[in-house]
Amino acid sequence: MNQLTGAEAMVRMLQGYGVSHVFGLCGDTSLPFYDALFRLDHDITHILSRDERSAAYMADGYARVSGRVGVCEGPSGGGATYIAPGLIEANESSIPILAITTDISVGGRGRYSLTELDQAAMFRPLTKWNAVIDRAEDLPKLVRTAFREMTTARPGSAHLGLPFDVQKGAVEETEVWQQPDLGRYPAWPTAADPAAVVAAASALEGARNPLIVCGGGVVIAGAEDELGRLAEALGAPVATTISGKGSIAEDHPLAVGVVGSNGGVPETRQFMDGADLVLLIGCRAGSVTTERWRHPAPGAARIVHIDSDPVVIGANYQTEAAVVGDARLALAALNEALSGGGERPVGELNADMVARARAAKFAAFDELAASEERPIRPERVVATLRELLDDDAVVVADPGTPCPYLSAYYPVRRSGRQFVSNRAHGALGYSLPAAVGAYYGRPGAKIVAVMGDGSFGFSNGELETVARLGLPITFVVIANAVFGWIKAGQKSGFDGRYFSVDFAATDHARLAEGYGLRGWRVEDPAELRRSLAAALDCPGPSLVDVVCQPLQEAHAPVSEWVA
């Protein structure tokens, strides 16, 4: 029989699952794996990152826009600990990324080997599935398990530890086979129980003012068309979470926009409070979406819940009808169950109310976006981006200043994944590397990453990666020399006792130029459009540093600050 080394088998396994890009950083324990990538003939491109955390965020961004598994890798010890934040975010966001962290030899365990770490114990609570490959002959089976776990049922992240001696061990070539359909997600989607679909349809038919609230599960499942059919059949408005943005084109007559404490506004909250039935689809109804479970108030509306994860249903609201299954298949079945139901009476929550709410919401926004005051208003940045970007552009936003403004006021006019933000844990430093992954996941689209200057400080070393690879990504830095979210919270909740949140201003454009990017610094609102347009038209990487109003002085759509 022909044999491969463990490292060679790993390359062949990834190749068989259709992996086209691996994001990672080299280390001593990874040498056999890197050598196999060098020697073997395959179609995998390795993207050298400058930090393992960035590599995981790159894999995350790639997976979100491509519908394929994202793969990242790193060495033992510090490399394994650095890669962990990306796995946590992806897992809680139901995004399948695989982290391969190489490790010390199995024979070196317990002997104070350099970089020794119990990787299995470390990654167990952070991922959907995790294993350390202790024997080379087990490698194909465990890789197959990882892909199966990542992409079926509720997607999530996985980790494989790959010890140094396992990389050199022998694997029978006949054992190196794959299940290629598990390289995409959601794989093997599960249809809902027909009785549960009938119960959901009955509940919806009895509602006068139904509201549909979509989480990230709709876009993950590719259920946008079925959602549109349902909303139009019911005449029901559709609201989304931040992760659910793109479930419906936001210029659709029934699209309410984002609801909740981050990105929601009073004009969208009224839909949550006015509904007599809320249909939750791929949505956990967590603290942000419901403004700490106050909108809707418990018991104020009947609840129908569709989700691929049964644990989510009923966790926060008493549920009248529970539909467990893939969102696309469940909505298709629900549409069939509702067909032929005749004309529905027009309730108070309808397209006319959506139009009035949208007009009121954007009237206040447009007034601020037109301001000529300095520092530049964040609203002006968002309005200018919406004016300049095509509908197929992908905007990647960090969770600080950019997230509430873009989620509320950057309307995506095409359904699908056009907007990305890391909402599960909200770590800073995400958007810059995630935009790199998004570029490789959707190379035909313009990729724009928007971040605060606090977030920029976490990951700016990846500008070297962007420059080295010549990626035509545009980065926009909202610069105000403060960790603005925390300072705004200190203002609203602690009587303005500001403590340890301000830092020195940086000329981010000059820093970007030092890495080899084109850079613009904008302080005058009159110069903003010209600078952004020039950056977006740049054939290579570009960065625009916008000196903006600090968040504690702004009118951000964050309910706890407004209150």
- 395-429 tens-digit pLDDT: 999 999 999 999 999 999 999 999 999 999 999 99
What's the rounded Cα separation, in Å, for the pair 391 and 372? Answer: 27
Assigned token pair, 388? 């300049």
Question: How confident is residue 384, by pLDDT bands cut at 50, 70 and 90?
Answer: very high
Question: What does the pLDDT read at residue 508?
Answer: 98
What are residue 34's phi and psi, to 5 degrees? -65, -35
One-letter amino acid for residue 327 of the chain = A
- Look at residue 449 and tell me whether its pLDDT is greater than 70: yes
Q: What is the pLDDT of residue 511?
A: 98
Q: How confident is the model at residue 340 (pLDDT cuts 50, 70, 90)?
A: low
At 99, list the tokens: 């982290």
pLDDT higher than threshold 90 for residue 562:
no
pLDDT the model gives residue 346: 82
Question: Does residue 344 have a pLDDT over 80?
Answer: no
Cis peptide before 404 (omega within 30 of 0): no
Query: Comparing C-alpha atoms, which of 152, 89, 154 is closest to residue 307?
Result: 154
Confidence of residue 560 (pLDDT cuts 50, 70, 90): confident
pLDDT value, residue 563: 59
Backbone angles phi, psi at 463, to 5 degrees: -60, -30
CB-hemisphere CA count at 13 Å for 210? 23
Closest to 496 in 3D by CA, of 427, 554, 553: 553
The model's pLDDT over 304-333, given as tens digits with 9 standing for 90+, comes to 999 999 999 999 999 999 999 999 999 999
Instruction: Please give the order of strands across the beta sheet that includes 21-24.
Output: 45-48, 21-24, 70-74, 97-103, 158-163, 129-132
Mean pLDDT value of segment 520-526: 98
CB contact at 8 A, 205 and 338? yes
Residue 303's DSSP bridge partners are 278
Predicted confidence at residue 255, as pLDDT, reads 98
Domains plus CATH for the chain?
3-183 (3.40.50.970), 194-352 (3.40.50.1220), 370-562 (3.40.50.970)
pTM of the model: 0.97
Q: To the nearest whole percent, how much of the chain has pLDDT over 70?
A: 99
